[in-house]
Structure 1
Amino acid sequence: MYPGTLVEGVFAGGLRELQPEGQSTGMYKQPVQGDALIESHGIGGDQQADRRVHGGPEKAVHHYAAENYAKLAAAFEHCAAQLVPGSLGENLSSHGLDECNVFIGDVYRVGTSLLQVSQPRSPCWKINHRFAEDTLSMFVVQQHLTGWYYRVLSPGVVRAGDRIELVERYTERFSLDAFWTLQLQHRPQFQDLLQLSETPGLNQDWRQRLSGRAHWLKSKSKNSQ
């Protein structure tokens, strides 16, 4: 099991206008000094503009690997100085945990809270607007640099410097990187999609989407025989 790492940043923020069109966004986070309360809906004091795609119990806390920013900055030199921890709207930042060694359903103790990986983040167009880069969100997905969401199994308190420790792992197959590798295939094997959809801890919305696609591919396979 992964031995653990440290929380390097905790971020939260209210709503602001996103330029140039003035849409509301909760992407602009500020470092939290001292203790931050993690509740069932997320970090205390944090807000999300569009609750259809951000926030809620299945996407309560967003974690992003700090080392991903170097990759983004190398690809988007125009806004490299802005690509720093917290700027993609994450709540937790750390080194050592990333999309390759974090798995669907993983349970972590973060500070005194207990969190479970429910799904990867699906970046939206607001990332492009914030950084004035039309292809940034697409790059994030294509390179599997999305970060991930937690559901809160047990509320608690977290602060920079607290340990992040793996408590339980349900799959050795479906890391976040493997999730995206399979999901982005044009014609994945329906058996693989079904297995992913049945992974303990996966968000119910993704379960339905993946199993529905799997059954569609299975029917297509039968019809072509």
Structure 2
Amino acid sequence: MKVVSTNIGERKEVNWKGKKFTTGIYKYPVNTPIFLNKEGVNNDEISDKKYHGGILQAVYAYSLEHYKFWKEKYPSTEFNYGMFGENLTISNLEETTIHSGDTFKVGEAIIEATIQRDPCYKLGARFNDMKIVKQFWNTTFCGVYFKVIKPGTVKKGDELIQLTSCLNNPTIANLYLQKKEQLKTTK
């Protein structure tokens, strides 16, 4: 696994069909290293701290390989890395094989996989199509949230080196599927 892109976003005011909100989902690649700290990425906007950021969701990573799937579904959308709100676009990041608790060294930082990313309407606004929220739920392409064990800089080209594996813990994909089932039963 290798970092293909480091991405940060600024605070953005959005008016989606009459509903106004503030978001940090509009992330774009940067050519300089980014600094991963305990509660987020320096200079990266987290607008809704109830659902994003904080110790368990300090860094969001998304797989480069998932982009192909979404580009086929949204051929007229102009894609850039960071499109899903991720701080790190990583090659071969696979939610079905990464377990909650697995740790990795990347650049100067050490990070630990924690939970899945659950999609919300802000992803739909980013794609200018709310259908993507349901489509996102119908995959296991949720991406991975990490907590930062050791803060440090990360840059494009850095490799993720697995330090520990927690095979007895659920995979990120399994956590995502459990959350989906949980949401079904509460409706």
Letter of the 1:25 partner, please give it.
T
Aligned equivalent of 2:35, options 34, 37, 40: 37
Bigger relative contact order (CA 8 A; separation at least 6): 2
Alpha carbons 1:19, 1:130 under 8 Å: kept: no
Aligned with residue 149 of structure 1, among 145, 151, 159: 145
SS in 1 for 2:166: coil
Any unmatched runs of 5+ in structure 2?
A: none
Unmatched segments (≥5 aa) in structure 1? 187-212, 214-225
Change in CA separation of 1:35 and 1:184 when aligned onto 2, cut-off 3 Å: closer
- Which position in structure 1 is the counterpart of 2:172? 176
SS in 1 for 2:163: strand
Q: Which amino acid aligns with 1:181?
A: L
Render the CA deviation track for 1:146-200: whole Å, top value 9, x for unaligned.
10110111111111111111110112562222223344347xxxxxxxxxxxxxx
Contact 1:99 1:147 in 2 (8 A): yes
1:120 and 1:176 in contact (8 A); partners too: yes
User: Residue in 1 aligned with 2:135?
Assistant: 139
Residue 64 of structure 2 corresponds to 66
Of the candidates 52, 55, 80, which is equivalent to residue 53 of structure 2?
Answer: 55
CA deviation map 1:57-100 (0-9, x unaligned): 11100000011111112223343x33x32111100011111212
Distance 1:19 1:77, change over 3 A: farther
Q: Find the aligned partners of 2:181 and 2:12 in 1 and give their Cα distance.
A: 36
Structure 1 CA distance, aligned partners of 2:181 and 2:125?
27
Larger fraction in strand: 2
Q: Which stretch has the larger CA shift, 108-117 or 15-24?
A: 15-24
Contact conserved, 1:108 with 1:115, CA < 8 A, in 2? yes
Question: Counterparts of 2:15 and 2:127 in 1: how far apart (Å)?
Answer: 10
RMSD: 1.9
Structure 1 residues 181 and 162: CA distance shift in structure 2, 3 A: same
Which whole-Å CA distance do the structure 2 matches of 1:75 and 1:30 have between them?
21
How many angstroms does 1:37 deviate by? Answer: 1.3
Query: Aligned AA for 1:30?
Result: Y
Q: Give the alignment's TM-score, normalised by structure 2.
A: 0.88
Cα distance, 1:143 vs. partner?
A: 0.6
1:162 partner amino acid: D
> How many residues end up aligned between the 2 structures?
181
TM-score for the superposition, normalised by structure 1: 0.74
Please say if residues 107 and 152 of structure 2, whose CA atoms lie closer than 8 Å, have aligned partners that are also in contact: yes
Q: Which of 2, 8, 27 is residue 6 of structure 1 equivalent to?
A: 2
2:105 pairs with 1:109: yes
Identical residues among aligned pairs (%): 25
- What amino acid is aligned across from residue 23 of structure 1 in structure 2? F
Q: Does 1:95 align with 2:73?
A: no
1:130 aligns with 2:126: yes
